[in-house]
Amino acid sequence: MTRNLLKAERVSYIDQRLDELYPKPPVPLDHADPFTLLIAVLLSAQCTDQRVNQVTPALFALADNPFDMAQRSTESIREIIRPCGLSPQKSKAIRRLSEILIAEHAGEVPQDFTSLERLPGVGHKTASVVMAQSFGVPSFPVDTHIHRLAQRWGLTRGRNVVETERDLKKVFLRERWNDLHLQIIFYGREFCTARGCNGLVCEICTTCFPARKHPKKIHKP
């Protein structure tokens, strides 16, 4: 009888397979420095990375640093970022955080979670992406996509992204966190989509759980 892999076996296989498929995963959001990455990640809330990358060239032509962004009107920012959704809140956050960066951080993006998460529009996930990809600090940003895959792969029983992040950090080596969060995102988009795989279709799901007979029920955050 075919058996499902034990958790330690799943972790080892997933880690190795993702690194084979995506050995040097790029950051999917176009950016030039910590500030432009911060803004791009903020815009990506409830919006696709592809749409953000279509919008940010015009936004960064308007202002690509906090000193210039703080001088722009909220309305001018909002008009550009409208396609990303939630533009009233996001435009206010972008202008206000630019002012705070100037007033409290000499115009630089801070390199600690506490300061980042105090900025308007910046939650733990956004801060984690910036810390991981701009400053190389081991982090494991978890969004709804990673939350879904981690459940399908039996890596967490977390009912929200906070619990899932905690569980993933426990099972994977710290030096792998920054790449893994990107590798999981790329794999999910390509093979284990919300509608394309229900825990019974993709390579990782079927390898980890060959004896699974029914779609995996997901706890949505």
Identify whether 125 is a catalytic site residue. Answer: yes
Spatial neighbors of 1 by CB under 8 A, at least 6 apart, are 211
What's the CA gap between 53 and 189, in Å, rounded?
17
Instruction: Give the residue among 61, 101, 53 at the shortest CA–CA distance from 77.
Output: 61
- DSSP of 2-54: --PPPHHHHHHHHHHHHHHH-SSPPPSS--SSHHHHHHHHHHTTTS-HHHHHH
| Active-site option among 15, 30, 49, 125 | 125
What's the CA gap between 10 and 208, in Å, rounded?
6
| Active-site option among 64, 143, 167, 179 | 143
Structure tokens at 118: 């105090």
- Name the burial class of residue 44, with classes exposed (0-12), middle (13-18) and buried (19+) by CB atoms within 10 angstroms of its CB: buried
Structure tokens at 35: 């500030």
What's the CA gap between 11 and 146, in Å, rounded?
14
Identify whether 143 is a catalytic site residue. Answer: yes
Give the residue numbers marked as catalytic: 125, 143
